[in-house]
Structure 1
Amino acid sequence: MNRRRFIKASMALAAVSGTTSIATLFSRAAYAAESEIADGRTTEFDFSVLQSMAHDLSKKPWVGKPRPLPDTLANLTPQAYNAIQYDAEHSLWNNVENRQLDVQFFHVGMGFRRRVRMFSVDAASHQAREIHFRPELFNYNDAGVDTKQLEGQIDLGFAGFKAFKAPELARRDVVSFLGASYFRAVDNTYQYGLSARGLAVNTYTDQLEEFPDFTSFWFETAKAGDTKFVVYALLDSASVTGAYKFTISCEAERVVMDVDNHLYAREDIKQLGIAPMTSMFACGTNERRMCDTIHPQIHDSDRLAMWRGNGEWVTRPLNNPQKLQFNAYLDNNPKGFGLLQLDHEFANYQDIMGWYNKRPSLWVEPLNKWGKGAIGLMEIPTTGETLDNIVCFWQPEKPVKAGDELEFKYRLYWSGLPPIQSPLARVYATRTGMGSFPEGWAPGEHFPEKWSRRFAIDFIGGDLKAAAPKGIEPVITLSNGEARQIEILYVEPFDGYRILFDWYPTDDSTDPVDMRMFLRCQGDAISETWLYHYFPPAPDKRKYVDDRVMK
């Protein structure tokens, strides 16, 4: 680019009017400085501009599905798509000296067909410039992409972005936004796990679920030494639009995101999911049905944890049910909730591909008043670890009507442990197995005639040791059946207490049984509340089978 062309382009930019619309924001200038990858026209931008855009967009019809991609991209295999790598020499902040952060972009292709716009923002001047797609930003390696089909396709856009922090710049990313409104982050293990979403729409209703898209991102330029950056996003879907501000702190031990979203309903929405997260639970200590592998456990998360508005702490172990299940836990102004992965012992997974012992938890902390609603938990049957089958979100009590405007602020913690835990005794693990015989004894030569299911809930921490001499009382509530053979055992290896009970059916129902338990000492609660959703077998399956072959 010669000096004359640069001056001419600059003069043209100076004549641009101060008003901003989607059309002008997505237009392209002729040239840009070689040191920057942003090559679009300079336009005014801040969060208020984005909110106006989302509001105006909600008054227009949804544009629908993504436009078709060139064949060479649409037909990519997963292996070919993964072979396409962004050129680190063209990273967003490559020209920032002593940078601690950087951003690269994902190529469109395969299942990632939505063309996402990217913009670079100067926070001081509130000026934004678009970054248009061009093949020289990528290394295609052995992907087999016909780059001739991509020439001149500046509106091809990108599929998403990933962020890096020092000292792993351009080598291992710590944040990834890719596909619909999905995003993920890591802790200091650099191991991705569960995903978050910008919004969930009609996840569990009689209507088809919507998957809103982040269609544009704006990045405030990070300065030298910054470990925090700000990115804005425009969300669009058939029934809702949204303006999002993410303030992302890449800390030494974790990633923390402050999220501020403004939502604008196009249509009535039956079920709106705020701060949704998606995870996987195939099997664990409590559910062994799908664990016929070399791995003792397989899961991204092992429990839903809730800190209710009334101060109660609740733990709900996850399940891999035989049929889809949805539970709604009512609350008013929740203090926090999340899907947690608290077991970080390699020996409990024995997995050198998924590294489930390294996967982070995700905790949501509301930053404004959310009012009345429910934490929804959906569990879907899965046969293996490649399919996410757990969904969790906050659902406001008040139905969403077309034209409604809503604002939710919250903080997301991606870390091995949640940022805050109950001062009371906490659930360490949940285990289940065959019951109806004394603990410490095998069933014997003849299996018990009376069938039951045993539950063992381990508690640690809090004031358990001080309470033990005074008497620890398990308070058990069941929606069906009855609890017998209740025992309290001290377990020295984890320095805690195991509560055992056998669940006996009192009828032939196979409806899920809601179980609830907490520990009490002299009338005071000394533990968080354990919740469980148990699925009784059919009456003809309620028996023990001796499959030994004796010759």
Structure 2
Amino acid sequence: MQRRDLLKATAALAAFTGLSTSSLLLASSRTRGPDSGGSHRFSFEELIADARRQAGRPWHSGSETLPPTLAGMQPQAFNVIHYDRQRSLWHGSGSGLDVEFFHVGMGFRQPVRMYRIDPGSGIASDVHFDPRLFNYGDSGVDVSQLHGDYGFAGFRIYKQPDPGHHDIVAFLGASYFRAVDDTGQYGLSARGLAIDTFGPQPEEFPDFTAFWFEQPAPGSRRMVVYARLDSPSATGAYRFAIDCQDHQVVMDIQAHVNARKDIAQIGICPMTSMYSCGTDERSRCDTFHPQIHDSDRLSIWSGNGEWICRPLSNPPHIQFNSFQDTNPKGFGLVQTDHRFDSYQDTVDRYDRRPSLWATPTTEWGEGSINLMEMPTTGETLDNVVAFWTPKQPLRAGESRDFGYRLNWSALPPVAPGLAQVRSTRSGLGDFTEGWAPGEHYPAAWARRFAIDFVGGPLAAMPATAAIEPVISASTGRIRDPQVLALPDEVHGFRVLFDWYPDDAGTAPVDMRCFIRAGGNHATLSETWLYQYFPPPADQRRHA
């Protein structure tokens, strides 16, 4: 499974219109358990207990065999299907938010069951699939082949009234979900759970198999959604309190995870994004766009208070990095640059992509924030994954609870009081700035790095301030470090240095840099962490 396939489908389906309260949506009033269909009395406590019981039973795939008219669909035809806007879940109720559902088909073959919770009785009623809920247009779907209740592929949330006709939250495929800020532009995704993302065994993609919806109060833009998660290795019960604010979407999540079997690597609060190229390695950006990425860095606010900036990369081969921590204060995949000139993209609008920030609301204990980066040749594949892994693996029969808040917004809701990394650039080194490298510099090959730190205490410091860079590298040698004042309007300083290799190896080099005051050595910036991939010796040219 390619993550980007799910996201592209979500983006296309975001153009869907309409749903509503009608007899087509509601099940019979017979009271049954949540696994048997029909109507049932719902509580989150019972969902948690049910997920634990399910973890003690063998897993069975819920993927269904679709009729040929759906199974053989191409994306272009699939995206033509539109929901009837007059049949939204709470149409005409005065709720500030409403819900529509995505059609099954193509690669979306896991039937997701939907339930509407009656606010008075607490009874959850089935939301049934029916072809009359959809407008098929010229999709070519043979409606005569659609018999029975296929369920849905997912759902989307939008504001009421909805003058922009675009959704702000979408759950679609496996346990993927996304939200947007006031730009209306989707970007990176989150997931309910990640299993074996990096390792010798294939990655496992758990599914959200059912959702329960609480109706928002009249005019309210806050709603609660419950979800059941299932996979060969785990089950789960989730509660999403979704607050659709003017400039961001905030989700408070309670996750209760149970292991069916030993899980080698579990990922809590996983985030998935795309990084093709940015300011650092221009040779990988063979396009007229200056940059292409949904996110440009992993930011970490560690448990000990340190702020870390780890610029993302498009590596030559899969890379996995682990940042050990205890009770982190937060982390996220961040899009810091929202200037159109940085991307020159009028179609995908990377300048409008939101950032995603996670704040633990319970103690997570010891573990690590993990980052996996995969090579990509363009912008159609998500190649970045970040998540939290507890130090103690989850064993068969065990359960764990995690609480966290997700902020989908242009920038994270918190920031260090220190200077932050504005950009990272690199190029040929071992020459004096202002002179062209070439025949006068034949002795050595080196890579030059420029890190711009801006804001925080630097905003009030003069260009002549005494600032020291603290730089280290896992291999090779750091030479000629310099600190240069940036123009007044930028309010910052640039650190320049050259890295020289010790050998012809191509193993990644881990670099670290921050700046401090020259007198009292007070820390002035967050910590820049970077992974550089030296080229083979025969590609180390001097000009």
Q: Which range, TM-score by smaller chain?
A: over 0.9
Task: Tell me the secondary structure at the aligned position of residue 283 of structure 2.
Answer: coil
Counterpart AA for 1:537: P
State which of 60, 64, 68 in structure 2 corresponds to 1:67.
64
The offset of 1:178, in angstroms, is 0.3
Identity %: 55
8 Å CA contact retained: 1:436, 1:448: no
The offset of 1:467, in angstroms, is 5.3
User: Aligned pair 1:21/2:33, yes or no?
Assistant: yes
Which protein is bigger by CA-based radius of gyration?
A: 1
Change over 3 Å in CA distance of 1:170–1:537 after alignment to 2? closer
Deviations 1:232-280 (A, max 9, x none): 0000000000000000000000101011011111000000000001000
Mapping 1:392-407, distance limit 5 Å: 392-407=386-401
Task: Tell me the secondary structure at the aligned position of residue 427 of structure 2.
Answer: strand
Name the residue aligned to 2:339.
345
State which of 176, 185, 191 in structure 2 corresponds to 1:191.
185
Name the residue aligned to 1:168.
162
8 Å CA contact retained: 1:258, 1:412: yes
The offset of 1:223, in angstroms, is 2.3
The offset of 1:441, in angstroms, is 2.2
User: Aligned pair 1:287/2:285, yes or no?
Assistant: no
8 Å CA contact retained: 2:437, 2:542: no
Distance 2:205 2:476 in 1: 40
The offset of 1:65, in angstroms, is 5.5
User: Aligned pair 1:207/2:219, yes or no?
Assistant: no
Distance 1:171 1:464 in 2: 43
User: Aligned pair 1:514/2:510, yes or no?
Assistant: yes
8 Å CA contact retained: 2:174, 2:207: yes
User: Aligned pair 1:431/2:431, yes or no?
Assistant: no
The offset of 1:125, in angstroms, is 2.2
- Aligned-residue Cα RMSD (Å) equals 1.7
The offset of 1:457, in angstroms, is 0.3
Mapping 1:291-370, distance limit 5 Å: 291-370=285-364
The offset of 1:206, in angstroms, is 1.5
Name the residue aligned to 1:527.
525
Task: Tell me the secondary structure at the aligned position of residue 79 of structure 1.
Answer: helix
Distance 1:418 1:309 in 2: 17
The offset of 1:64, in angstroms, is 2.1
User: Aligned pair 1:472/2:479, yes or no?
Assistant: no
Task: Tell me the secondary structure at the aligned position of residue 114 of structure 1.
Answer: coil
Distance 2:533 2:119 in 1: 54
The offset of 1:352, in angstroms, is 1.1
Deviations 1:432-459 (A, max 9, x none): 1111111222225545431100100000
State which of 263, 271, 287 in structure 2 corresponds to 1:277.
271
8 Å CA contact retained: 2:477, 2:499: yes
Counterpart AA for 1:525: T
Name the residue aligned to 1:30.
none
Q: TM-score, normalised by structure 2?
A: 0.92
Name the residue aligned to 1:374.
368
My pick for the range that moved more, 140-149 or 123-132, is 123-132
Deviations 1:160-217 (A, max 9, x none): 0000013426810000000000000000100000000000000011211100000000
Deviations 1:7-43 (A, max 9, x none): xx99x94xx56xx53344x13xxxxxxxxxxxxx3x1
Change over 3 Å in CA distance of 1:323–1:63 after alignment to 2? same
Distance 2:451 2:478 in 1: 14
User: Aligned pair 1:79/2:71, yes or no?
Assistant: no
8 Å CA contact retained: 2:438, 2:542: no
Distance 1:374 1:531 in 2: 16
State which of 477, 481, 497 in structure 1 corresponds to 2:476.
481
User: Unmatched 5+ residue regions in structure 1?
Assistant: 1-5, 28-40, 546-551
Mapping 1:23-172, distance limit 5 Å: 23-24=35-36, 26-27=37-38, 41=39, 43-64=40-61, 66-97=63-94, 99-151=95-147, 153-154=148-149, 156-168=150-162, 171-172=165-166
Name the residue aligned to 1:422.
416
The offset of 1:289, in angstroms, is 3.0
User: Aligned pair 1:502/2:498, yes or no?
Assistant: yes
My pick for the range that moved more, 267-276 or 53-62, is 53-62
Counterpart AA for 1:368: T
Task: Tell me the secondary structure at the aligned position of residue 233 of structure 1.
Answer: strand
Distance 2:434 2:159 in 1: 52
8 Å CA contact retained: 2:62, 2:111: no
Distance 1:325 1:369 in 2: 28
Name the residue aligned to 2:6.
none
Name the residue aligned to 1:391.
385
Counterpart AA for 1:140: Y
For these two proteins, the number of residue pairs brought into alignment is: 515
Name the residue aligned to 1:463.
457
Name the residue aligned to 1:37.
none
Deviations 1:81-137 (A, max 9, x none): 00001111000010303x321110000001111110000012342110000100010
Distance 1:168 1:476 in 2: 51
- The 4+ residue runs of structure 1 with deviation greater than 4 A are 444-447, 465-470
8 Å CA contact retained: 1:164, 1:170: no
My pick for the range that moved more, 219-228 or 417-426, is 219-228
Deviations 1:301-342 (A, max 9, x none): 000000000000000000000010000000000000000001
The offset of 1:470, in angstroms, is 5.1
Counterpart AA for 2:512: R
Distance 2:465 2:378 in 1: 46
Task: Tell me the secondary structure at the aligned position of residue 168 of structure 2.
Answer: strand
Task: Tell me the secondary structure at the aligned position of residue 171 of structure 1.
Answer: coil
My pick for the range that moved more, 48-57 or 76-85, is 48-57
Distance 2:354 2:53 in 1: 38
8 Å CA contact retained: 1:73, 1:145: yes
8 Å CA contact retained: 1:361, 1:416: yes
Task: Tell me the secondary structure at the aligned position of residue 456 of structure 2.
Answer: coil
User: Aligned pair 1:266/2:270, yes or no?
Assistant: no
The offset of 1:353, in angstroms, is 1.2
My pick for the range that moved more, 212-221 or 481-490, is 481-490
The offset of 1:476, in angstroms, is 0.5
Name the residue aligned to 2:3.
none
The offset of 1:507, in angstroms, is 2.1
8 Å CA contact retained: 1:21, 1:53: no
The offset of 1:290, in angstroms, is 2.3
Counterpart AA for 2:141: V
The offset of 1:388, in angstroms, is 0.4
Distance 1:290 1:139 in 2: 43
Q: TM-score, normalised by structure 1?
A: 0.91
Distance 2:360 2:227 in 1: 20
Distance 1:322 1:486 in 2: 27
8 Å CA contact retained: 2:459, 2:491: no
Name the residue aligned to 1:225.
219
8 Å CA contact retained: 1:216, 1:233: yes
Counterpart AA for 2:528: W
